[in-house]
Structure 1
Amino acid sequence: MNADEFLADAKKLILMSCGDISAQMSELEVIHATTFFSLGVERLLKFVLAEINPVFVLTSGDFKNAAPCLYKHKFVNGDQHGVTASKPDTDVVSFRVAMQRALIFSAGVKENSQLLFSLANYRDILAHRPLSELDVVKAIRLLTKDGYKLLNDICSERSLSVQEFFGADHDRLRDLSRKMQNEEDFSKAMKVRLEQHEALWLARASQPEFIKQAKDITKSLLASTGHDFSYVSFTCPACAQEAVARIEPDYDYDPAEKTSYVTGVFVDNINCYFCGLKLQDYEELNYVDANSIFEDGRDLV
């Protein structure tokens, strides 16, 4: 597939989700809309990559495989020396790998990376896990409040018409997104929440035994690690003490090799044992810039 095909498919799939998206959705509507929206976003991420270099979309991007996959129509001579594969692997990368690669080239993808992690998880549940594991309430919020913004962020930086993704539902979903953002006013709520935890810390700061306990728990967690997680220090956005961020690897599965492999790492949650602040939802982690943990090049997992 070339970039134009990925883009055309992204528009079709996202368009198929639009009719079901509303403030009041049944479980079946959530399942239907989340399925097609996530598949469409996956195609859009691959468009971002293919527009730069179509090789970036292939699971096997070496010359032997990529040349016959992408450019066989340009061959002018037969391959007598076997420099290309006779049966090339046409498989393309997964949602998660596409996201990890696309965020290097797209500010819109990077800005919405926590949301995309959640969407990838929802897609995996819908494809491979019991549907009961899907958090319907959070999926509705993602689709109604953040879905339009995600598409608009990516489209605006590439001069794409966001209206072509939403069709006749464009104005309705744009207005619904704005309405929910205004009603929720997440930023104000987070500011109040951080101020409350700051006040809680100020009340505890004069308690030596409590401070010692918080330090001991923090130190113990930072010294611990596991096969698929680690803990790193993060300055608490509420009380400015040392909080603990849990880092987990993001896995994908290679059906050909029948093995799992790490595609990247993400912040699962942040806990401060001094003021009691706990952050886990992608919006909360975005608000405190949790991804800044990865900017210093530390080996985290």
Structure 2
Amino acid sequence: MKELKIDFVDFWPTYIKTDNYFYNLLKHHYTLVIDKNPDILFYSSFGNDHLNYNCTRIFYTGENRRPDFLACDFAFTFDYNTHKKHFRLPLYSLFIDYYDMLPHLTRLKTKKEAKEIWKQKTKFCCMVVSNPKNQKRIDFYKKLSQIKLVDSGGKVLNNVGGPVPNKANFIKDYKFVISFENSSQDGYTTEKILEPLFQDCIPVYWGDKLVDRDFNSKRFVNYHQFETEDEVIKKILEIDQNDELAIEMLMQPTFNKNKITHDEEHDQVLKILCEIIEENRKPMAQTWLRYIYQLKLHLIRLRKKLLKLKLL
């Protein structure tokens, strides 16, 4: 196989360069070498080290951030963006691969299986949150807690004796999991809905208003389908008290039937990557447009400093 030098920068601290979505896709078609002078650089939104590279740069983020096409040659994000250099690849897709979730998520449960699963759900509802910035999530938790005990296993509003060491093990005994994103944006769907689905819980989801394009809304409580928050809570309590309704939900397919399959998504991403690699076009980092990008970054940093000094 053809040798391909790649590298990864500006990703989250636990990102493994030789065991990730992109590496695992490409390794079957190229002999991959992690090199500080790569042919292809994959970078994310947790730093600016990518500025030190003038090769072809591919941007990926699972955060609620937009790509800057002055900086990258292609971008994979959560966004419904029709730009020719963009492909929608939400964070949950990476989780499916990394934790080998697909067989369980795509297997339909029989009524007998669903009934047994629901019987084992001995606790009502929980959430595991470490980011305190989404006030809507906190307010919803407090409101539901006034009606029935909701356990909080994260750093925020913890009431179980401290942050839990393993989210998956913690949530598996609960009927419902509060699955609110950190912010709301069309297409921005992370692992927050996926984890409870994988543990056969019922997610109470808020965030991506278009989430039902990806996931079957009959399989979870979709906050965005209700007129008021009181109606959301009323629905949760109805399911809690109606075993047949809950069992029917657990029997539903995980994904929207019109969504492309995970394998099809793999094929499309791989096709894009191979085209980028084989076309051998002049990288954006070697064009005059890089100076505009660098100027933009400088102005952003300057504005932050001025705001900090309260001069703006």
Answer yes or no: same fold by TM over 0.5.
no
Structure with more of its chain in helix, by fraction: 1
Normalising by structure 2, we get a TM-score of: 0.25
TM-score by length of structure 1 reads: 0.26
